[in-house]
Structure formats: structure tokens, C-alpha cells
């Protein structure tokens, strides 16, 4: 019966399955025939046709070489840039390290400059235990206290008063008669020694240095200096 639309008769279900089976079988047969070495067909060598160079797809050979050169140049530039960057980074790191070391040294130097320098105490001066040493020690003390006098002036009066004997005592003059005899190198009475005693020296009137400094202190107040004394005082 013809179709009212296409004008062809409809295929039955059986006819459809039959046609489909024939088509599938034909495709399978063609596939087997195309496989070299199949048991159902003799072995055949298949010639492969070389692919022709297509300028539309790949460009000319010169163009390809140019592209290759450009790629090489780009790679070289990228490598040079990477090396330049690494060099710049290394130089920056080295500079930063050098700057830090210099800053640390300067900080240490400033710290050392600010550190107070402790001066070692000078060794005490040693004086000979004789007339020369006693006079020199007395002069140093007098200088520190602002008491005038010279070596020659002190020496001259000592030799007149006691001939250099620190334990000399006068038991015959008016002072001795009054119960206050003159004592020591410069023959000082006890009240005068106590009144004009120089701080830092012994309170023993027979001590040579204490006796000299007290006598010179008294002479400075009364005569201006022991250098001005030329007789008993």
C-alpha cells in the first residue's frame, strides 16, 4: 500500500531488519578485506602516499626558517634577561650585606666612642725617707693646699732650727720654761702645730712632713712664706 505522504510503500518490520543486517554485513566484509594479513584475504603491501608540503598550511621553507630563528632569538633574549636579573639580584644582595656590615661597624664604633674611658689611678709617688724626701713630700702637699715656700727656704730654716733631726726638742728656751717646748725639724710648739696642722698629714708633731707643713702654714700667715724667715720665729 502506498504512503499518502511520500508516495512509496512502507517497509515492514521484517524488511527493515533484513536491510539493516545486509548493510552491517557489507561493512564488516569491507573492514576485513582492508586488514593486511587477514586469514580470509591474501597479504598485500599497502603503499603510503607521502604527504605533500602545503604552503597554505605551513608556509614556505624560508618562512619556517625565519620563524625558527625568531624563536631562537626569543629564547636567547629570555635567557639574557634571566641572567641579567640574577646578576642584579646578586649585586643588590651583596650591596645590602655590605651596607649592613658597615652600619654594624659604625654602630659598634659609636658605642665604643661613647663608652667612658676609665683612667687608671696614678701610682702613688714614693719619697725617700730622709731630709730630702721629707721636704719634697711637704712641698707637694703645700702646693696642693696653696701654701707658699721653696725647697731652699725650708732647708735653710731646718738646718738652723734642728740640723735635720726630726726628734729634736728645745728644753731650755722661754717656751720650754713655759712648759711648751719647741719640737721637730722646724721647732714648732704644740699649740702652733695644732692650730696650723695641714689636713692629710699626721697629728704627730715629730712626724717630719707634718712638722714642715704646719710650720710653713704658720710662717705663710705671719711672714708671707717660710722663705722670709731668717731667725727664730
146-163 pLDDT tens trace: 999 999 999 999 999 999
Residue 7 to residue 149: CA distance in whole angstroms: 162
Q: What is the pLDDT of residues 26-75, one digit of tens each?
A: 444 333 344 444 444 444 444 544 544 455 555 577 777 788 788 888 88
Percent share of the chain, pLDDT over 90: 45
Residue 190 to residue 218: CA distance in whole angstroms: 12
Residue 45 to residue 39: CA distance in whole angstroms: 15
- The answer to pTM > 0.75 is no
**Rounded mean pLDDT, 131-159:** 98
Task: Judge whether residue 166 has pLDDT over 80.
Answer: yes
Mean pLDDT of the chain: 79
User: What is residue 134's three-state secondary structure?
Assistant: helix
**Rounded mean pLDDT, 2-25:** 40
Residue 161 to residue 121: CA distance in whole angstroms: 38
At 129, give phi and psi (nearest 5°).
-90, 65
Quick one: pLDDT at residue 165?
A: 98
Residue 77 to residue 95: CA distance in whole angstroms: 26
- Dihedral of CA 100/105/106/108: which sign? positive
Name the CA radius of gyration of the chain, rounded: 65
What number does CATH give the domain 131-228?
Answer: 1.10.530.10
What nine digits make up the cell of 121?
Answer: 689611678
Phi-psi region of 7 (alpha: psi -120 to 50; beta: other; left: phi over 0): left
Comparison of pLDDT for 102 and 137, the residue scoring more: 137
Which string of DSSP letters, residue by residue, matches 62-95? HHHHHHHHHHHHHHHHHHHHHHHHHHHHHHHHHH
Enumerate residues 6+ apart whose C-beta is below 8 A from 148.
142, 216, 220, 224, 225, 226, 227
Task: Judge whether residue 215 has pLDDT over 90.
Answer: yes
Of 90-94, 164-168, 202-206, which gets the smallest average pLDDT?
Answer: 90-94
What percentage of the chain's residues is helix, strand, coil (to nearest 5)?
Answer: 60, 0, 40
What nine digits make up the cell of 71?
Answer: 624563536
Task: Judge whether residue 25 has pLDDT over 70.
Answer: no
**Rounded mean pLDDT, 80-106:** 88
Amino acid at each position: 500500500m502506498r504512503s499518502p505522504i511520500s508516495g512509496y510503500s512502507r517497509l515492514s518490520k521484517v524488511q527493515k531488519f533484513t536491510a539493516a543486517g545486509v548493510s552491517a554485513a557489507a561493512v564488516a566484509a569491507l573492514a576485513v578485506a582492508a586488514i593486511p594479513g587477514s586469514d580470509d584475504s591474501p597479504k598485500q603491501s599497502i603503499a603510503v602516499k607521502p604527504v605533500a608540503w602545503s604552503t597554505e598550511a605551513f608556509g614556505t621553507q624560508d618562512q619556517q626558517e625565519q620563524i625558527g630563528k625568531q624563536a631562537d632569538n626569543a629564547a636567547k633574549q629570555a635567557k639574557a634577561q634571566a641572567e641579567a636579573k640574577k646578576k642584579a639580584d646578586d649585586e643588590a644582595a651583596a650591596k645590602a650585606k655590605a651596607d649592613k656590615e658597615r652600619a654594624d661597624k659604625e654602630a659598634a664604633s659609636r658605642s665604643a666612642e661613647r663608652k667612658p674611658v676609665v683612667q687608671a689611678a696614678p701610682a702613688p709617688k714614693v719619697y725617700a725617707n730622709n731630709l730630702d724626701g721629707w721636704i719634697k713630700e711637704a712641698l707637694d702637699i703645700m702646693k696642693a693646699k696653696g701654701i707658699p715656700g721653696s725647697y731652699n727656704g725650708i732647708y735653710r730654716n731646718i738646718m738652723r732650727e734642728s740640723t735635720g733631726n726630726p726628734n729634736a726638742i728645745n728644753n731650755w728656751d722661754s717656751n720650754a720654761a713655759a712648759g711648751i717646748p719647741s719640737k721637730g725639724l722646724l721647732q714648732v710648739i704644740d699649740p702652733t702645730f695644732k692650730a696650723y696642722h695641714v689636713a692629710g698629714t699626721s697629728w704627730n708633731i715629730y712626724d717630719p712632713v707634718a712638722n714642715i707643713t704646719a710650720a710653713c702654714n704658720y710662717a705663710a700667715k705671719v711672714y708671707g712664706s717660710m722663705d722670709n724667715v731668717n731667725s727664730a720665729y
